[in-house]
Amino acid sequence: MKINIYYGGRGIIDDPTLYVLSKITNVFNELNVKVERFNLYEQKSNITSLANTLKDADGIILASTVEWFGIGGYMMQFLDACWLYGDKEKIKKIYMSPVVMSTTYGEREGMMHLASAWEMLGGQPCDGMCGYIADTTVFENNTEYAKLIEKKAENIYRTINQKMPSLPCSNQAVSNMVSITQGMDLTPQESEQLSEYVSDAKYVQKQKEDLKELTDLFKNKMGHEQKTADVDQYKDKFEKRFRSGSGVIAKYKLNFTDVEQHKELVIDVNNRECKCIFDSNLEADVTISITTDTLNDILAGRMTFQRAFMAGNMKMKGDFKLLRNMDQIFGIMEQ
């Protein structure tokens, strides 16, 4: 059995939550439970990716310290990541115990906040513990508190180990009916990068100006005439590079923007088969506008379809997830 501990405090020496987690960890070790702790303040730059660490856990402990108001920003970021990127089917099987210590006021509200959030995610509830500790020396001088914490840890272990059932709650019902997360095809890192760039008006304006400057430069250089290129070669290249068994069923259409003769290559992928034909009338799931130079760079391993799109070297219409699959289907790996 494995239990993950996610600590959302600041890691200061006299944090009472750290004392409680230390006692809980000792009990779990004696019971031969594998324990892994994640200090969110140490991983604040990649909290969004921590949702993936839930996959191999049987149970988790969400621990935080109320220092002035609420459970703190790090823990909220982690819960947001679970909502946006977590595997909801896996979360449904995970028991969560909240541990909240307060140095001011609001430990019960904090514990209820964590329990409600986990139920909204669809997870299994588990008894937690909370307390008001103004001075950590109170723990050290009172053996009864230590025994109480150890008893609570044993109860958490029994609940997770025996997979004790619980009655349905309204939080889960509301979540199932109205709080449906939109599916995200991007990774946490990609979505953060896109949101950062799109929200930067100066960056967007600069990109537009750069693209216009490059367009004018190439138009003048080429004398407003498009070059001719042998695009028939790409039909054989894609068929040879095709990797079957990807599970993808889609049609991709490549529109060569720098070729004088108007040819559009349609790549019909059907899991284990791939057929390439030149047909401008066929409908496609993904339409890509690309130059032969960019496509040559991709096939040579100097970039991927995904990076070419992100860098503005090509345009696309359709399902972005299918575009990402192209790199896998045709073995495109950036060298």
Query: Which CATH number characterizes residue 296's domain?
Result: 3.30.1050.10
Residue 211 lies in a domain: no
Q: Is residue 58 classed as helix, strand or coil in its secondary structure?
A: coil
Which ranges in the chain belong to alpha helices (H)?
A: 16-30, 73-85, 88-91, 107-120, 137-140, 143-162, 170-177, 188-198, 201-222, 232-241, 292-299, 305-310, 320-329
d(CA 282, CA 1): 54
**Would you tell me how many other CB atoms lie within 10 Å of the CB of residue 313?**
17
d(CA 154, CA 24): 8
Each residue's pLDDT tens digit in the chain (335 positions)? 999 999 999 999 889 999 999 999 999 999 999 999 999 999 988 898 999 999 999 999 999 999 998 999 999 999 999 998 888 889 999 999 999 999 999 999 999 999 999 999 999 989 999 999 988 888 878 899 999 999 999 999 999 999 998 887 776 666 665 555 555 555 555 655 555 554 456 666 777 777 777 776 666 555 444 444 577 888 889 999 998 888 889 999 998 888 766 678 999 999 889 999 988 888 899 999 998 889 999 998 888 988 888 888 899 888 888 888 898 898 887 65
Place of tokens 């979540």: 175
Give the distance from CA 157 to its chain's centroid: 29
Kindly report the pTM of this predicted structure. 0.56
Residue 193 lies in a domain: no
Q: Are residues 37 and 166 in the same domain?
A: yes
d(CA 16, CA 89): 34
Range of 323's domain? Answer: 225-329
Q: Are residues 171 and 311 in the same domain?
A: no
- Give the domain-ending residue among 118, 144, 177: 177
Residue 206 lies in a domain: no
Q: Are residues 147 and 25 in the same domain?
A: yes
